[in-house]
Amino acid sequence: MTARAGTAEEPLRVAVVGAGPAGYYAADHLFRQQTAVVAVDLFDRLPTPFGLVRAGVAPDHQKIKSVTAAFDKVAAHPRFRFYGGVEFGRDVPVEDLRRHYHQILYSTGAQTDRRMGIPGEDLRGSHAATEFVAWYNGHPDYRDRQFDLSQERAAVVGVGNVAIDVARILCRSPEELATTDIADYALDALRKSRVKEVYLLGRRGPAQAAFTNPEIKELGELADADVSALPAEVELDELSRAALERSPDRATQKKVEILREYARRAPTGRSKRLILRFLVSPVELRGGDAGEVVAMRLVQNTLQATATGALQARPTERFEELPVGLVFRSVGYRGVPLPGVPFNDSWGVILNERGRVLDPETRQPRVGEYTAGWIKRGPTGVIGTNKPDAAETVACMLEDLGQGRLLHPDEPDPAAAERLVRARQPGYFSYADWLRLDALEVARGRLAGRPRVKFASVEEMRAALER
C-alpha cells in the first residue's frame, strides 16, 4: 500500500513540527515539486504560526515580517492543515506521528540561549536577551517576565542581530514604539523606562562584528538616543587590516567607516546614549546587598589569528568595571532536544546529515525522520537562509520516497490524524482560526495607528474567537 504513497489516491503524508520559516519553506518546496502528491500537516506548540517572524523579529522592523504573505500562500494549498497549540511529545509523541504519516520533519528552531559561564550570571537583573525579545513581542510564555526598567544603565552582551534589536528597543522613544506591533504591556513598561545608557559589548573588533550595515546605520538615526563609540576601539588592528587587504570586502569597509563616524560624533543632548564597545568580554557580574546586578567586570581583548586565518579574541591583563543594573546576554543560541529524537550535543542540533535524522548508534538515517532550519544547522543566517536549507532536506525526502524508504503508517487517512489531534488537544487552533485572529489583531491595530495589536495569551485568543 505504501508503495503508492505520493499518488492522488494516497498522497505522501508529511507532519512538520514547528511553524516557523523553515517549516513553511519545507512545505512550500514539497508542494512545488512535480514528482509526488504531498499533504502537509503543520504543528506548532503555540496557537499562532510564523515562529520567530512573530516572536523574534523586532516590532520596529515590520518590513521583515512581510515574508508572512508568502507563508499564507503556502497555507492556502488544499492539502495543507495547521494544528496550533499542539505540542510534539506532550500532545503528540513521535510514535503517534509514525502511525499517521510517511515522513516527519522537525523545524523547531533554537529555543534556548547560551550562557556566558561567568560568576554572577544569575543575579537579579541579568537576563537572556531572547527572553526580553519574546516578552516585548507578546510570546504567551513570556508575558509575565519582569525586567527592572527603573535602572539607568544597561549592558547588552553580544553584537549579533538579537543584541542590536534589544539595544535599539531600549533606546527607542515611546513615540517610536507606539507605531509598532510591540506587545501592549511592553509598551507600557517601556514608556516608564528610566534606562538612559545602553552599552553594546563586542568581544572582537568592528570588522568581525556580526551585525549588518543597515542594522548599524539604524542605530545612528534613533530619535531620542545619541550613538557613540570609542575611537581607539573602532580603529582596525594590524591583523584585521591585513585580512581586509587580502580579501577586500566593501561591506566590512563600509561598516568600519560608519563606526568611525559614530566615534567622532559629539553628543547632541538626546535623552539616551547608546555606546558601542569592542574588544571587551564580561568576566564577572557583581552583586549588591539584595542579590541584584550592580556592575560588570570586563576584560579587554586583543585579536589573534588561528591556523585558518580567522581572528579570535584573546583576553589581556587589562580590566575595567562598568556600573550597570541590567544585563542582557546574547552570546549564541542552542536547540532543545525533542523527546525521542536523536540530538547532537556538540552543536546543539538534531543529529542529522543534510537534513536526514541519524541514528546515534549506527549513524545511519532513521527512516522517515528529517529536520530543517536552526534545529538542523544551528542558529545562523537570515530568514531566507531557511529556503535553501529546507530545499536540501526536501531533496532528501523525495529521494527516499523514490527509493521506498518511508514509514508505513497504519492509518494514513487524513481524518484519522485529525481525530488524534482532537482527542489529545480538543482546543487546537486551525489555520482558519489563525486567519480570524490575524484579522482581529490588524483591525485593533488600525484603530490605534499600528500594524496590529497582538493577543498575547492563549486565553485572550480563545476569547477573541468566542470559544
Partner 1 sequence: MNIASILASKGREVVTIGPRQTVRQALRVLVAHNIGALVVVGEADRPVGIVSERDIVREAARNERVFTRTVAAIMTKDVILGQPQDDLSSVGHTMTERRIRHLPVMDGGRLVGIVSIGDVVKAQRDRYQGEVETLQTQLLDDRA
Question: Are 222 and 215 in contact, with CB atoms under 8 Å apart?
Answer: no
Question: Looking up cell 537572556, which residue turns up?
Answer: 128
Q: Does 388 bind partner 1 (CB under 8 A)?
A: yes
Interface size with partner 1, residues (CB under 8 A): 44
d(C-alpha 70, C-alpha 198), whole Å: 36
Q: Shortest Cβ distance from residue 332 to partner 1 (Å)? A: 10
Instruction: Tell me if 344 contacts partner 1 by CB under 8 A.
Output: yes
> Nearest 10 degrees: CA dihedral of 394, 397, 403, 405?
180
Nearer Cβ to partner 1 (321/353):
353
414 contacts partner 1 (rule: CB under 8 A): no
Closer of 5 and 375 to partner 1 (Cβ):
375
Looking up cell 492539502 gives 79
- For the chain, how are helix, strand and coil distributed in percent, rounded to 5? 35, 25, 40
Would you say 69 or 266 has its CB closer to partner 1? 69
Instruction: Report which DSSP code applies to 88.
Output: B
Give the other-Cβ count within 10 Å of 341's Cβ: 21
Instruction: Tell me how far apart the alpha carbons of residues 17 and 393 are, in angstroms, rounded to a whole number.
Output: 14
Q: Which range, of 4-12, 134-142, 166-174, 243-251, touches partner 1 by CB under 8 A?
A: 243-251
- The window from 34-42, 58-66, 154-162, 226-234 that contacts partner 1 (CB under 8 A) reads 58-66
Residue 362 to residues 89, 284, 346, Cα–Cα distance (Å): 24, 43, 18
Alpha-carbon span 282 to 319, nearest angstrom: 10
Gyration radius from the chain CA atoms: 24
d(CA 313, CA 281): 9
Residue 115 DSSP SS3: coil
Among 1, 8, 34, 69, binds partner 1 (CB under 8 A): 69
- Alpha carbons 336 and 176: distance in angstroms, whole number: 35
Q: H or E segment at 157?
A: strand 153-157
Of 185 and 343, which CB lies nearer to partner 1 in the complex structure? Answer: 343
The reply to whether 246 sits near partner 1 by the rule CB under 8 A is yes
Query: In terms of CB distance, is 6 or 379 closer to partner 1?
Result: 379
Which one of 64-72, 172-180, 185-193, 267-275 is the stretch in contact with partner 1 (CB under 8 A)? 64-72
- Quick note: the x/- pattern for partner 1 over 247-276, rule CB under 8 A, is x-x---------------------------
Contact indicator for 444, 173 with CB cutoff of 8 Å: no
Binding marks (x or -) toward partner 1, 346..385, rule CB under 8 A?
xxxx-xxxxxx-x----x------------xxx-xxxxxx
Residues 201-240: x where in contact with partner 1 by CB under 8 A, - otherwise, as a string? -------x--------------------------------
Q: Residues 389, 433, 438, 441: which binds partner 1 (CB under 8 A)?
A: 389
| Minimum distance from residue 356 beta carbon to partner 1 (Å) | 8
**C-beta of 248 vs 267, nearer to partner 1:** 248
Rounded CA separation 80/11 (Å): 12
Query: Of the ranges 67-75, 151-159, 174-182, 221-229, which one interacts with partner 1 (CB under 8 A)?
Result: 67-75
Helical ranges in 336-408 per DSSP H = 374-377, 386-402
Q: Are strands 356-358 and 352-353 parallel, antiparallel or unpaired?
A: antiparallel
Interaction of residue 161 with partner 1, rule CB under 8 A:
no
CB of 386 to partner 1, least distance (A): 7
Task: State which of positions 296-315 bind partner 1 (CB under 8 A).
Answer: 306-312
Residues that bind partner 1 in the complex, under the rule CB under 8 A = 63-64, 66-67, 69-70, 208, 243, 246-247, 249, 306-312, 344, 346-349, 351-356, 358, 363, 376-378, 380-389
